[in-house]
Amino acid sequence: MAAKALSFVVGDYVVYPKHGVGRVIELQSQEIAGARLELYVLRFEKERMTLRVPTNKAESVGMRKLSSNVTMTEALTTLKGKPKVKRTMWSRRAQEYEAKINSGDLVSIAEVVRDLYRADDQPEQSYSERQIFEAATSRLARELGAMEQTDEPSAQAKIIDILKAAGHGQAR
């Protein structure tokens, strides 16, 4: 059963679930353990990381093109929704948030951003809450920035503006 290779070309922005938005910088052919492998070479600028993904494994690892405008609109609409604060232990919630971020699903990432957002006048977040919030916001902003052809800080500002406009961060 051969996996249908997704067709990415050099210069395409792609989303790799565990690392976020990267760019295809090269298509390589290498011989590894006697087998010829076609590889996508991805560059993640923010992490200064290069990743090689076999073309026949791209789909199974969840690598995908940037989201559609419809999906991005749904994610930005999710930010305007009411935050869902579960009363479970933080360690359990943190695991759930990390799983959502690493899923690569834009709407799930937006849920994490919405649920962990704190306005300036709210109680301070714990270090781990802030780390997860920043990771989710960065992941969402990098994809939004790539889609709108802008930089990550501009995209992050847009996300925060949406959260503030929705009235998030008022005393709960």
The predicted-structure confidence for 70-87, as pLDDT tens digits, reads as follows 999 999 999 999 998 888
Walk me through the domains of the chain, giving residue ranges and CATH numbers: 13-65 (2.40.10.170), 69-165 (1.20.58.1290)
Average pLDDT over residues 132-137: 95
What is the pLDDT confidence band of residue 123, given thresholds at 50, 70 and 90?
confident
Asked whether residue 96 carries a pLDDT value surpassing 50, the answer given is yes
CA–CA distances in Å: residue 21 to residues 33, 56, 111, 137, 166:
30, 20, 18, 13, 27
Question: Is 50 exceeded by the pLDDT of residue 69?
Answer: yes
Residue 51's contacts (CB-CB under 8 Å, 6 or more residues apart) are 16, 19, 22, 41, 42, 44
Backbone φ and ψ for 9, nearest 5 degrees, come out as -120, 160
Give pLDDT tens digits for 15-42: 998 888 999 999 999 888 888 999 999 9
Matching residue, tokens 């010829």:
36
